[in-house]
Amino acid sequence: MPDPAQLKRLPIVVPALIGIMAPMILMAALMTALTIALMTVPIMALAQQDSASAGTEQNASAGTEQNDSAAVADPDNTAQDAASAELSESSEPSTVVDQPPRVTLTPPEPITPPPLKPLKIMLDWYPGPQHAALLIAQHKGLMERQGLQVTLSTPADPTLPTRLLAAGRIDLAVSRQPLLHLQVDQGLPLIRIGTLVDLPLAGLLLRDDGTMESPAQLAGKRIGYSVEESRELLLPALLKPHGIAIEELELVDVNFSAVIHMVDESLDGVMTPQRLALPRRLGDEGITARLLNLEEHGFPRHEGLILVANRDRLGGQKESLRRLLEALTEATAWSLEHPEEAWALLADIEPTLDTPANQDAWPAMLMRLSARPAALDQGGYRRFEAFLHEQGLLETLTPVDKLAVDLGAP
């Protein structure tokens, strides 16, 4: 039998043992539960993965069977299946590194240039070396670069250009300074806007037969003329100091045919605006001639070839005319720098001017071309106007600003 004394101590020992063991038992239980939980999570994940794989294989098998059936039923679906496969592959995550956005630069639409401003210019004569600036500027495209579409024409009669200009039929006329003074005095609304040839081109050609040495011997002679100012201004002014009236000469209108009239009609001489080339042309026909330069017989120096506009229409044309003069300035500068090339170009542009007479006259003509077509010699115009008025050849004394304008002035 148990010892009664020991039995008496049990109520004390048992509770003490329980107080000591209870925490240890609880800790062991917690450790066991935690171990079981950690082992259960991977097993469940593996089971879910196996279940998903089985489902995928089942779906793939079913899809394959369905696709095979569809392919048999409709072979045309093969391309559609291939496209779906490509789409599926393209939906997978890409391993390509993303590129930064790029901007595509599209060239601007071409700008349509403004329409060219048309200008109609009538020459005073057949095309010749004196028209070099106009012909070269047009051929080299200098006028188009200035926004101009220039049309050059030749008159059937040398009296027509300024008359057509006054009537508003053309925009500009090539003329000569003496004719401008005469026609402004007659009331035509003309004004000089540019210069093509700075020095005189007019002169009196006389047969060199020993019978005529000066203008004092012209009374009773048959003298031809080709332009209006020769009859109305130049011959009268040349004769007046010698006491000879214009009526004492037998005048013949030779128009453009001075050489023919000198040969066929035995003229004693001709007043011409072509004094640089005409002597050689007469020489080729066997006629020896001597030249009387007007400026050596009391005439003030004047411009040989000018551009004339209608004064009443000038206001609306100034900008176009300035651009024209710029083109002429460039053409003249190029001609002075390249005289041989300039002549070759003229001969190519106008084959009819490629004659021995014009070729001989080219160096002298080139040196007379105006390097500054817009520049105005106001003193020269004033002196020439005064000279003609003093000779009694003009009714009124016209101020320079009614005769000419400097479009290049500020």
Mean pLDDT, to the nearest integer, of 105-109? 73
Task: Give 67's pLDDT tier (boundaries 50, 70, 90).
Answer: very low
Q: Are 191 and 218 in contact (CB under 8 A)?
A: no
pLDDT at position 107 is: 75
Domain edges within the chain = 1-36, 117-199+303-402, 203-296
pLDDT at position 383 is: 97
Same fold, 117-199+303-402 and 203-296: yes
pLDDT at position 212 is: 84
Altogether, the residues listed in the chain come to a count of 410
Task: Tell me: pLDDT of 23 over 90.
Answer: no
pLDDT at position 70 is: 40
156: phi then psi, degrees, rounded to nearest 5: -75, -20
Q: Could you tell me the CATH superfamily of domain 117-199+303-402?
A: Periplasmic binding protein-like II (3.40.190.10)
pLDDT digits (tens, 9 = 90+) for 361-396: 999 999 999 999 999 999 999 999 999 999 999 999
227: phi then psi, degrees, rounded to nearest 5: -130, 155
pLDDT at position 409 is: 85
Task: Tell me: pLDDT of 402 over 90.
Answer: yes
Higher pLDDT, 159 or 183: 183
pLDDT digits (tens, 9 = 90+) for 331-349: 999 999 999 999 999 999 9
pLDDT at position 98 is: 61
Beta-carbon contacts of residue 207 (< 8 Å; ≥ 6 apart): 262, 267, 268, 269, 287, 288, 289
Task: Tell me: pLDDT of 88 over 50.
Answer: no
CA 276 – CA 360 distance, rounded (Å): 9
Task: Give 82's pLDDT tier (boundaries 50, 70, 90).
Answer: very low
Using a pLDDT cut of 70, give the percent of the chain over it.
Answer: 74
Task: Give 52's pLDDT tier (boundaries 50, 70, 90).
Answer: very low
Task: Give 20's pLDDT tier (boundaries 50, 70, 90).
Answer: low
Q: Could you tell me the CATH superfamily of domain 203-296?
A: Periplasmic binding protein-like II (3.40.190.10)
Mean pLDDT over the full length of the chain: 83
pLDDT digits (tens, 9 = 90+) for 246-258: 999 999 999 889 9
3-state secondary structure 8-43: HHHHHHHHHHHHHHHHHHHHHHHHHHHHHHHHHHHH
pLDDT digits (tens, 9 = 90+) for 190-242: 999 999 999 999 999 999 887 788 899 999 999 999 999 999 999 999 999 99
